[in-house]
């Protein structure tokens, strides 16, 4: 009788240890997703900090391009005011499109393109855009690992009980591959 009790006890202990290990792995993956988003957020903030200087520089040369400047300003405000990663992702896609339009407008102003301040801001924004692109890719990879972990056996049996839910990947907007239309 004691042998059966010891075997049952060992099985229970092994299952509890496996459950703890599984839970800890899911927590680690969820934290990696949160960290990956935080890295995107840092780069988005850097870009948001550069945009007002860029808009002011462009205003001095292309004052009659008010619609494009307003679009960039409004898109920036939407990113700043977004409360969730999903809302920030959507607002960021709009801002990316607005910035493309702004840079397309700048092509029509040789004096603006030659302005050292504008060139530096444009270079910093391009570097930041590259970092954001890399961080988005890293975020999506991390989300994929997390989502796979919570959807595969045996984690799927416990993930829901402990509040592990699917995360959304960063998706480019539908017209992200389309160049902006600029008309003079």
CB 168 within 8 A of CB 86: yes
Model confidence pLDDT, tens digit, residues 99-115: 888 888 777 777 777 77
Task: Give the CA distances from residue 175 to residues 54, 107, 170, 178, in Å, rounded to whole numbers and listed in that order.
Answer: 24, 21, 15, 5
Q: Is the pLDDT reported for residue 184 higher than 50?
A: no
Helices vs. strands in the chain: H and E counts, helices first: 6, 0
DSSP, res 174: T
Question: How far, in Å, CA of 174 to CA of 176, rounded?
Answer: 6
Listed in sequence order, the residues at least 6 apart from 88 whose beta carbon sits closer than 8 Å to its beta carbon are 41, 44, 79, 82
Domains for the chain: give ranges and CATH numbers.
Answer: 2-159 (1.20.1440.20)
pTM: predicted TM-score of the whole model, two decimal places: 0.72
CA–chain centroid gap for 140, Å, is 9
The larger pLDDT score, comparing residue 147 to residue 181, is at 147
Q: pLDDT grade, residue 63 (50/70/90)?
A: low
- Looking at mean pLDDT, say which of 64-68, 144-148, 172-176 comes out highest: 144-148
Listed in sequence order, the residues at least 6 apart from 125 whose beta carbon sits closer than 8 Å to its beta carbon are 47, 50, 51, 54, 99
Question: How far, in Å, CA of 95 to CA of 48, rounded?
Answer: 10
Model confidence pLDDT, tens digit, residues 28-42: 999 999 999 999 988
In this predicted structure, which of 7-11, 46-50, 162-166 has the lowest mean pLDDT? 46-50
Residues in the chain: 184
Question: How far, in Å, CA of 86 to CA of 103, rounded?
Answer: 26
CA–chain centroid gap for 86, Å, is 8
Question: How far, in Å, CA of 163 to CA of 156, rounded?
Answer: 11
Q: Give phi and psi for 161, each to the nearest 5.
A: -65, -30
């Amino acid at each position: 009788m004691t042998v059966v009790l010891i075997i049952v006890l060992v099985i229970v202990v092994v299952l509890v240890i496996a459950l703890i290990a599984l839970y800890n792995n899911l927590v680690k993956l969820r934290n990696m997703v949160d960290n990956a988003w935080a890295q995107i957020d840092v780069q988005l903030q850097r870009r948001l900090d550069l945009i007002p200087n860029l808009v002011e520089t462009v205003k001095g040369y292309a004052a009659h391009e008010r619609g494009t400047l307003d679009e960039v300003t409004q898109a920036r405000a939407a990113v700043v005011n977004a409360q969730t990663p999903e809302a920030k992702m959507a607002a960021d896609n709009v801002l990316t499109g607005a910035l493309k339009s702004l840079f397309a407008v700048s092509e029509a102003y040789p004096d603006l393109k030659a302005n050292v301040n504008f060139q530096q801001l444009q270079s910093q924004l391009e570097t930041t855009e590259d970092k954001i692109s890399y961080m988005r890719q890293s975020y999506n990879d991390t989300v994929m690992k997390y989502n796979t972990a919570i959807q595969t056996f045996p984690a799927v049996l416990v993930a829901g009980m402990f509040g592990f839910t699917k995360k959304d990947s960063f998706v480019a907007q539908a017209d992200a591959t389309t160049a902006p239309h600029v008309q003079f």
